[in-house]
């Protein structure tokens, strides 16, 4: 991005992680460092950069050598979605209680939520928190349609008894991993258990 003469480089929209990708057949630390260093030097000129590296990245020394600063962040990674029953059993008591609460309220789990409905609700939920949505509708529509075409992603929602959307998530996947890249809940419905109920149902959906 460019503002006046100031150039910033950040993760593209809907991209949780970025950074060097090196084939897992390359094991030698020196070779990995050399490749990473080469890629760093190929980056375009910038005044500021913010890279959120993949959680599997375990060698950031080349970044350090090039003057970068590093901060740890955390991701929740569930290793085995096939055994979703065991995963759900490991939820803490509060989350289990919230799921039961949602089931008693007869909340509805929906898949393939229309692109405009998803965007409208995400915008509305954020507005109630005093925040602005950080992606535009056209970009999201392109992502949505490509995921649908390639069968590698879907939109999900929880609706209340009046058919109002109260919690949403957008998931993308490949042959190995699923990623939750968007997730939001209506602040007025947080105590209904809709978020936990949404996660439980998405795990059931993804298990195969």
Please state, in angstroms and as integers, the Cα–Cα distance from residue 117 to each residue in 64, 124, 167, following that order.
44, 11, 12
Distance CA 178, CA 170 (A): 10
Residue 170 CB burial class (10 angstroms; 0-12, 13-18, ≥19): buried
Q: Per DSSP, what are the bridge partners of residue 185? A: 167
The pLDDT value recorded for residue 81 is: 86
Structure confidence at residue 57 as a pLDDT band (50, 70, 90)? confident
Whole-model pTM: value is 0.85
Q: Give the mean model confidence (pLDDT) for residues 73-93.
A: 88
The pLDDT value recorded for residue 3 is: 83
For 19, the token pair is: 């950074």
Q: Give the mean model confidence (pLDDT) for residues 19-45.
A: 91
Mean pLDDT of the chain: 93
Are the CB atoms for 184 and 126 separated by under 8 Å?
Answer: yes
Structure confidence at residue 164 as a pLDDT band (50, 70, 90)? very high
DSSP 8-state symbol, 134: S
Per-residue pLDDT tens over the stretch 122-156: 999 999 999 999 999 999 999 999 999 999 999 99
Res 58 pLDDT > 80: no
Structure confidence at residue 1 as a pLDDT band (50, 70, 90)? confident
Distance CA 186, CA 193 (A): 11
Res 176 pLDDT > 90: no
Q: Give the mean model confidence (pLDDT) for residues 54-78.
A: 88
Q: Give the mean model confidence (pLDDT) for residues 73-77.
A: 85
Q: With helix as H, strand as E and coil as C, how does 7-21 read?
A: EEEECCCCCCCECCC
Q: How many helices (H) and strands (E) does the chain have?
A: 7, 7
- What is the per-residue DSSP string for 21-56? ---TT---HHHHHHHHHHHHHTSPP-SEEE--B-TT
- Tell the residue number behind the tokens 């529509």, with chain if given: 141
Q: For 71, what's the count of Cα atoms within 13 Å in the CB-facing half-sphere?
A: 4
Residue 77, C-beta contacts closer than 8 angstroms, at least 6 positions apart: 55
Q: Give the mean model confidence (pLDDT) for residues 68-87.
A: 88
The pLDDT value recorded for residue 60 is: 87
Distance CA 106, CA 160 (A): 8
Q: For 103, what's the count of Cα atoms within 13 Å in the CB-facing half-sphere?
A: 8
The pLDDT value recorded for residue 19 is: 85
């Amino acid at each position: 991005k460019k503002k006046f003469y100031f150039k910033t480089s950040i993760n593209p929209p809907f991209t949780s992680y970025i950074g060097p990708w090196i084939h897992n057949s390359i094991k030698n630390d020196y070779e990995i460092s050399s490749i990473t260093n080469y890629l760093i030097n190929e980056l375009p000129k910038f005044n500021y950069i913010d890279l959120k590296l993949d959680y599997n990245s375990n060698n950031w020394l080349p970044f350090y050598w090039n003057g970068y600063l590093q901060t740890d962040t955390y991701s929740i990674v569930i290793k085995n979605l096939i055994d979703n029953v065991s995963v759900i059993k490991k939820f803490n008591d509060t989350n289990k209680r919230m799921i039961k609460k949602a089931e008693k309220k007869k909340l509805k789990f929906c898949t393939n939520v229309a692109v405009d409905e998803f965007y409208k609700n995400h915008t509305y939920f954020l507005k109630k928190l005093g925040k602005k949505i950080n992606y535009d509708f056209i970009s999201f529509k392109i992502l949505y349609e490509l995921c649908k075409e390639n069968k590698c992603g879907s939109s999900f929602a929880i609706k209340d008894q009046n058919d109002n959307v109260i919690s949403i998530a957008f998931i993308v996947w490949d042959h190995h991993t699923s990623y939750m890249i968007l997730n939001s809940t209506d602040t007025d419905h947080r105590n209904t258990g809709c978020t936990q109920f949404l996660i439980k149902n998405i795990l059931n959906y993804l298990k195969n």
